A = this chain, B = another copy of it.
Amino acid sequence: MENFIVHCNRLTGLTESAKVDLRTKLTTKHIAKGHYLLQDGNTCKYLFFINQGLAKTFFFKEDKEFIMRFFTESNLFTVVDSFGNQQPSGYAVVALEDTSYTTLSYDDLQTLCQRHHCMETFFSKLLAKAATHMMQRITEMLEDNPAERYARFVTNNQALLQRITLGDLASYLGITQVSLSRIRARK
């Protein structure tokens, strides 16, 4: 729970009173590998902060699974459109390992934002960070071919690589598992 606050405070300085107030709104939960933090079709009611474990955000198109992003220790995230507009999510979030995470609900965040200007700033920073990450992702998909995307992922996510399947990695990279296997073989 403290880690959530430390992380928020790092995004933008929080006042002591905001920290005290925030602490009362946090809930820590545990979920087993394979279970859902959010089912697609449901509205995302929370900001999620992963204390320990690993999760992926993904969606289906005709049973095929496409991965938007992996989240691990100290990642603070949500499903932006569902959370921001409190509408059903087209994306699901599932635990890839047994996972401990801390949540802050939409309603509580609204309350905190009304009470503390710094919390509104915090939320803006969080959204800007998410947007920046997605911009980077789009950039990579435009400028890199599959082999380059794989190479970049390996360099930037050395640790994560040990924890995800190559099937999931292929899905994230936007290629088939067969193609990823060939890319790995040919160098």
A positions within 8 Å CB-CB of B: 59, 61, 64, 66-68, 80-81, 84-85, 90, 113-114, 117, 120-121, 123-125, 127-128, 130-132, 134-135, 137-139, 141-143, 171, 174
- Contact, CB under 8 Å: B135 / A80: yes
Q: How far is the CA of A59 from the CA of B125 in the complex (A)?
A: 24
Q: Say how far A57's CB is from chain B's closest CB, in angstroms.
A: 9
**Cβ contacts under 8 Å, A113 to chain B:** 120-121
> Contacts A61-B143, A120-B117, A120-B120; is A134 near B127 (CB within 8 Å)?
no
Provide the bound-state CA to CA distance between A67 and B135, in Å. Answer: 11
A64 cross-chain contacts in B, Cβ below 8 A: 143
Q: A59-B143, A80-B128, A81-B131 are in contact. List 11 more A-B contacts (CB 8 A).
A: A64-B143, A66-B142, A68-B138, A84-B128, A84-B132, A114-B117, A120-B120, A124-B124, A131-B134, A134-B137, A142-B171
